[in-house]
Amino acid sequence: MHTKSVIFIVCALVVIALSPIAFSQQPVQSEEKVAREQPSQSPAVIEAKPESEASKISMVAPASVAAIYLQGLNMYVNPKVKFKLTTNDNIYADKIEYRVDSGEVKVFSEPFSVEQEGPHAITYWGVDKIGNKEDPKSYKFIVDATAPTIIVTSNQPLMRQGDKIFVSKDFRFKVDVRDDISGIKSVEYSLNGKDYVPYREPFGIPTEGQINLKIRATDNVQNVQEAFILKLVDQSGNPVELKESAIAMQTDNIAPKVEIKCNQQFIERSGVKIVSNTAKYTIEATDDASGVATIYMRVDGKGDFIPYTGELMFNTNGEHSLEARAVDKAGNLSPVTILQVYVDTIPPVSSIETLTE
């Protein structure tokens, strides 16, 4: 009997020496605490109740683009986030088994990621060498693998002339950004293609010369979108959508030059231009940058300006006026040019008399 007791004590000492984790009594952190202590991640709340049992789950961010975001009780991750399982046992831990959603049961060997977008749950449990199986735990999260969408509009139609898009100081650009999963974290824009500033409200084009417009939107798990849709019209007035990561624009802040011409030479009398009712008038406009979009005219100061379509004449006797203005394809509107004339439609009255000397 004494010999059997000695043998038992020696065997127990050997087990202790060969098992470095044997009889560990250190408390295990809860899931919520592990998630919150990741230094490069946003705080996270685990939907499963935090426990202090043997197995636990934590997240590893192997690259700077991996990110985690908490919103209420929901935790969002991007596909770069990896999950690591660990376990402890009071005698001898053997393995951790897990499955993602309703997938197959696997034995954990190395950190893994979940790339499919949408809500997921990792169910996991530890098993020791004796065969004792831990009650399953659940770890819930939502994968956001999609970058935001960006649409840029302006307060007036953008005109494209050939391969150029012209804008003026009167333009204001509005950026609409949408992200249906984790939400928007930041929106930035650049007018020179290099220096970004936060977007807070519609912005204008304060500079002269070449513009290199870029937009950048980032969601709460660091999915970045740089391609955006810009809505404009072509030379024929048809709507066009451009999807680019950078769009070059040319500023044009100079309005067209407008001239009213008459095919007859005026007769000047007391500062009044006198012509006949056969005179024909044409309106011309020039613009060296974006080009002329529309010429407008008004006759005798009546009504609103209407588009100019071709030459016109004054048929009635008396004073007449012709007003003209033009807008270019960048939206610059010229000042009004006015031509005032007196149309003489009354023929002279002749008489005859006889002379004796």
Residues 86, 181, single domain; the answer is no
Total count of domains within the chain: 3
Q: What is the pLDDT of residues 195-223, one digit of tens each?
A: 999 999 999 987 677 899 999 999 999 99
Residues 110, 193, single domain; the answer is no
Residues 73, 184, single domain; the answer is no
Residue 83 contacts residue 59 (beta carbons within 8 Å): yes
Quick one: pLDDT band at residue 331, thresholds 50, 70, 90? confident
CATH number reported for the structural domain that contains residue 54 in this entry:
2.60.40.10
> Cα-atom radius of gyration of the chain, to the nearest Å?
40
Mean pLDDT estimate for the chain? 82
Residue 309 reports pLDDT greater than 90: yes
Residues 28, 130, single domain; the answer is yes
> Does a structural domain hold residue 87?
yes
> Does a structural domain hold residue 2?
no
- Interatomic CA distance for residues 325 and 219, integer angstroms: 47
Residues 216, 168, single domain; the answer is yes
- Interatomic CA distance for residues 331 and 1, integer angstroms: 107
> Does a structural domain hold residue 84?
yes
- pLDDT at position 235 is 67
Residues 133, 188, single domain; the answer is no
> Does a structural domain hold residue 349?
no
- pLDDT at position 162 is 72
Residue 78 reports pLDDT greater than 80: yes
> Does a structural domain hold residue 72?
yes
Q: Final residue of a domain: which of 143, 172, 207? A: 143
> Does a structural domain hold residue 339?
yes
Beta bridge partners of 203: 173
Ranges 140-144, 164-168, 295-299: which has the least confidence: 164-168
> Does a structural domain hold residue 10?
no
- Interatomic CA distance for residues 183 and 221, integer angstroms: 9
Residues 6+ apart with CB under 8 A from 49: none
Q: Final residue of a domain: which of 232, 251, 270? A: 251
Residues 136, 89, single domain; the answer is yes
Beta bridge partners of 218: 186, 224
Residues 241, 294, single domain; the answer is no
Q: What is the pLDDT of residues 252-307, one digit of tens each?
A: 899 999 999 999 999 999 999 999 999 999 999 999 988 898 999 999 999 999 99
Residues 101, 29, single domain; the answer is yes
Q: What is the pLDDT of residues 14-25, one digit of tens each?
A: 232 333 322 222
> Does a structural domain hold residue 9?
no
CATH number reported for the structural domain that contains residue 153 in this entry:
2.60.40
Q: Which residue has the higher pLDDT, 238 or 50?
A: 238
Can you tell me the mean pLDDT for 55-77?
75
Residues 133, 153, single domain; the answer is no
Can you tell me the mean pLDDT for 310-339?
95
- Interatomic CA distance for residues 12 and 8, integer angstroms: 6
Can you tell me the mean pLDDT for 159-185?
89
Can you tell me the mean pLDDT for 164-174?
88
- pLDDT at position 238 is 80
Residues 130, 53, single domain; the answer is yes
* Domain with 241 in it: 149-251
Q: Final residue of a domain: which of 251, 273, 295? A: 251
Vertex 143: Cα angle to 125 and 102 (nearest 5)? 40
Residue 32 reports pLDDT greater than 50: no
Token look-up 């333009």 returns 171
Residue 224 reports pLDDT greater than 70: yes
- pLDDT at position 59 is 54
Residues 245, 295, single domain; the answer is no
Residue 254 contacts residue 279 (beta carbons within 8 Å): no
